[in-house]
Structure 1
């Protein structure tokens, strides 16, 4: 429970930094639109790397499709990957922040109005979390990304 609280606190800090430093918005903008409403933790076993000298130690923060959509391509979505460990096998805990898909399935996420201009029109149509999660579960990387299907 304490770990979850600390991860949630870190996530909110990261969303606040993305809001101000990357997007030039109010500090709480991304948390105010519920980007950090739900935290999901997943555990993974990672075997040791046969050539650890070819890997680098790092903390990776992946931006997902939804943040790319609402930032109108200022933030870029990346595919999740795991870096090998020099120290042998390990347990990896992946943490995901998103909008509550059960309670708020009808809210439409679209490019943030404050980021749009005549020379920077919206690049994506709006999408509900219900539509987004339904596609993610069905397609899982098949036929391109969900973002490609939302391009205007």
Structure 2
């Protein structure tokens, strides 16, 4: 018999997936039923809660680097140096002039908004299976005791096309498939150029990282953060680093600053730039670079004013690819920091554990 989730939706078992997440109530539905309600499971430990000074962010310009994709694609040496510095010092940057049309970005945002506006029972038709993280629900829930994030999501594998589970792509949202496909195609082109630039910086040919990935995968996590009456008690997403190579983030609201990254033991807000993408180094890139490029802890905050969305598109090595420091990044001055591991083994370690800072790269480090 197929397992039944907490929400009453029968979830089919189709064999072993990447990982699994325990079913929990929808945060969106909690807020719909009682806008003032903040259940105990969402109230973070005192040490993990955002400070008042971190919640109310001044309208100052963001500190993280801003990089022009068009300059990179044209081989501009100064922009390549800026990319190198951004990945070393920040692990994050905002990417402008990336070539993805504004209409494609707006259609993607509209598709996500339309999905989360569907009635609860309609969204549950696309619920995560008991053994996989694709579909609608919440991610990284591995214990009945852990604190939960103030966020609902739908996760889809979007590239290569033969790996898509089309039964999880909402058919009741007009234009959803077309919007996701067009944005996915644009994100893939951007990511491949960035990986080519990073390959050059790491002393390889332009296709060096692409070859190491095998058939690269693209996973798209569409996040919905409802309003919260007590944003000082919760977190939209807990501090974590990303398990892929790089992630491209489309921020859903230019007026709300919710994403924060950890830099020198302080949380730095990333104020959205209209039509820009936020790009961050993932754990796999940190491993390939032997720790020269750093995947950085980041989190998202909730707010009282209005719901917020975002679309995080992660580029992942093929399951059977091996990740480890590339030869050009290992020498006498920079000995090997990480061990080699099959990517699927690392990915399952990531997905079987809750999001917890830099714990996943620590798992890969060579023990002295």
- Separation in 2 of the partners of 1:18 and 1:118? 22
Is 1:17 the counterpart of 2:197 in the alignment? Answer: yes
Q: 1:149 to 1:95 in 2, by over 3 A?
A: same
Indicate the structure with greater strand content.
2
1:7 to 159, 169, 187: 187
Alpha-carbon distance in 2 for matches of 1:75, 1:143: 16
1:12 Cα deviation after fit: 0.5
Q: Tell me how far 1:91 sits from its aligned partner.
A: 2.8
Structure 2 Cα separation of the partners of residues 12 and 36 of structure 1 = 12
Deviation at 1:75, TM superposition (A): 0.7
CA contact (8 A) 2:214 2:317 kept: yes
Q: 2:313 aligns with which of 95, 98, 106?
A: 95
Q: Which runs of 5+ in 1 are unaligned?
A: none
Secondary structure (helix, strand or coil) at the match of 2:349 reads: helix
Tell me if the contact between 1:35 and 1:98 (Cα under 8 Å) persists in the aligned partners: no
Q: 1:61 aligns with which of 269, 279, 284?
A: 279
**What is the 5 A alignment of 1:57-136?**
57-58=272-273, 59-82=277-300, 88-101=306-319, 104=320, 107-136=321-350
CA deviations on 1:47-81 (whole Å, 9 max, x unpaired) are 57999588622432121111111110111011343
Q: CA deviation at 1:83?
A: 7.4
TM-score, with length taken from structure 1? 0.78
Say if 2:281 and 2:296, in contact at 8 Å, map to a contact too. yes
Correspondence for 1:42:
221
- Local SS of the residue matching 1:9: helix
Q: 1:99 Cα deviation (Å)?
A: 1.6
Runs (4+) of structure 1 exceeding 6 A deviation are: 48-51
Larger radius of gyration: 2
Corresponding position of 1:148: 362
Change in CA separation of 1:142 and 1:43 when aligned onto 2, cut-off 3 Å: closer
The CA RMSD measured in Å over matched residues stands at 3.1
Please list every run of 5 or more consecutive structure 2 residues that lacks an aligned counterpart in the other structure: 1-180, 232-254, 258-268
Query: How far is 1:142 from its partner?
Result: 4.8
The total of aligned residue pairs comes to 146
